[in-house]
Amino acid sequence: MPCSAKRLHVTRSEPSQLRNRSERAFLSGSARVLLKFILMMKRLQLIAYRATLGFSQALPASVRFRQRLSEGAQRLSRVGASSFATNVRMSRPAFSISDGDSNPTPNGMSIEEETLPQYRPEDFLPLRIGDILQSTYRITAKLGFGTSSTVWLCNNIKTNAYYTLKVCTTGERNCKEILASKHIKSIQAEHPGMERLRTVVDEFEVSGPTGQHQCLIFEPQGITYTDFRRRFPSAGINKVLLQQSLLLVLLGLDFLHQVGIVHTDLSPNNILLGVEDHSVFRAMETVQHESVSRKLNSGERTIYRSQALPVTSGALIISDFGAARIGLPGQRFEGDVMPNFYRAPEIILGMPWDSKIDIWSVGVMVWDLFEGGRLFYATRGGNISDEQHLAEMVSLLGPPPKSFLQRSENCSRFWDSEGEFTTIGVMPGYQN
């Protein structure tokens, strides 16, 4: 039976910092119009729980709204690139490419992908600086690693252009990334949001000692917003830069949602600083060749340390469509998606969901970037907790209406038959 919508008994905590931050109305003009359904919460200026999640009405699709969006995009395209670049430069301290450690790492010490849980060397393609793949892409520097891939800077020996190469472990396939890229590139339309998306430029497979490895080629970009905050914790992201960042991200999302793509994994980890001058990659190539920090394993494998990308000043790019869902505009999907701390209520409650979950992610990201801390901690006893996550949402946003509770088949997990919240959650304090 559907649950009634009595007021939920959730312990409220309203730190003074929340009240102070609530007075910051930092959006104006077209950006304010674009974000008014996201940043309208009376205390936090975050996301309107009701507006974006079906509590009242969805984001408008009126001609006037689209016209205002287009006007804002055109203004940004005229002055935004240089303005955005200026604000990135103002927000960052001086930074130079590190030359690392020229000495090989001792064989007994684990580095890079070797430190991952359940690491198996045979899963990774053994690459060396100078290797050429597909008779085209020469490996010039290592950029990073993950549980299912390594990432490299490479140079197209035919055109001398730089690219980012993602080499997957054996058995790993990025089908959604490729499908989303093909879908995006198949659209014949002029939309400023298309320029804000990183798509696959080329893809092929390489044979390794233990199997096939899928390889994806992308245009090279700068560091993520997460890396920016981690590298310069005291620098912060100024108000103007955040305004421009949000407009660029929302332009990209507007295009995606119009063509039926839901990103589902939007967070500062997947927002990249663009690159205007590719000479930074030539500098990285020089550093990698002159001072290679590496570990030699019995002559069979060379494990390179990742080179730090410089802080660039190009316009933002949305990346990583590996978890994207593709359908029709406005289509609802099912399934558990989104990063833990960015999960929308529909996801926690197992409801069908649509593109509005991406807008929820943007709102949470606004807080995280501007405040330098999480909006939702969603943990209890050191573990991710759905109960705690919902309690924090209700503590900040108030109880959901009856119509929303009726949409959840999992209502009984969190509310009793009388509509009482069955757990007590405390909104944690925020720290600078």
Cβ neighbors of 218 (< 8 A, separation 6 or more) are 163, 164, 165, 166, 198, 199, 200, 201, 319
Cβ neighbors of 334 (< 8 A, separation 6 or more) are 352, 353
Mean pLDDT of 99-110: 57
The pTM of the full predicted model, rounded to 2 decimals, is 0.77
Alpha carbons 294 and 141: distance in angstroms, whole number: 12
Confidence of residue 406 (pLDDT cuts 50, 70, 90): confident
Alpha carbons 114 and 97: distance in angstroms, whole number: 24
**Residue 398 clears pLDDT 90, i.e. is over it:** no
Q: Tell me, what's the pLDDT at 1?
A: 42
362 touches 262 (CB < 8 A): no
Alpha carbons 215 and 174: distance in angstroms, whole number: 9
Q: Of the listed 265, 354, 368, 386, which one is catalytic?
A: 265
Mean pLDDT of 145-169: 95
Determine whether 265 is an active site residue. yes
The number of C-alpha atoms within 13 Å of 392 and in the hemisphere containing its C-beta is 24
pLDDT in tens, 317-356: 999 999 999 999 999 999 999 999 999 999 999 999 999 9
Q: Tell me, what's the pLDDT at 55?
A: 31
Give, as one character, the DSSP assignment of residue 165.
E
Residue 82: other Cβ atoms inside 10 A:
12
Angle formed at CA 291 by CA 286 and CA 294, multiple of 5 degrees: 120
How far from 371 is each of 24, 37, 85, 116, 227, CA to CA, in Å?
A: 12, 20, 22, 30, 16
Angle formed at CA 253 by CA 280 and CA 151, multiple of 5 degrees: 35
Q: Tell me, what's the pLDDT at 75?
A: 52
Mean pLDDT of 185-206: 94
Average pLDDT of the chain is 75
pLDDT in tens, 349-381: 999 999 999 999 999 998 888 887 888 999 888
pLDDT in tens, 224-237: 988 888 887 766 67
In this prediction, what percent of the chain has a pLDDT beyond 90? 41
How far from 328 is each of 3, 235, 260, 318, 354, CA to CA, in Å?
A: 31, 41, 4, 20, 10
Alpha carbons 314 and 368: distance in angstroms, whole number: 21
Alpha carbons 325 and 332: distance in angstroms, whole number: 10
| Of residues 396 and 424, more confidently modeled | 396
| Of residues 290 and 2, more confidently modeled | 290
**Residue 181 clears pLDDT 90, i.e. is over it:** yes
**Residue 134 clears pLDDT 80, i.e. is over it:** yes
Alpha carbons 100 and 293: distance in angstroms, whole number: 6
**Residue 178 clears pLDDT 90, i.e. is over it:** yes
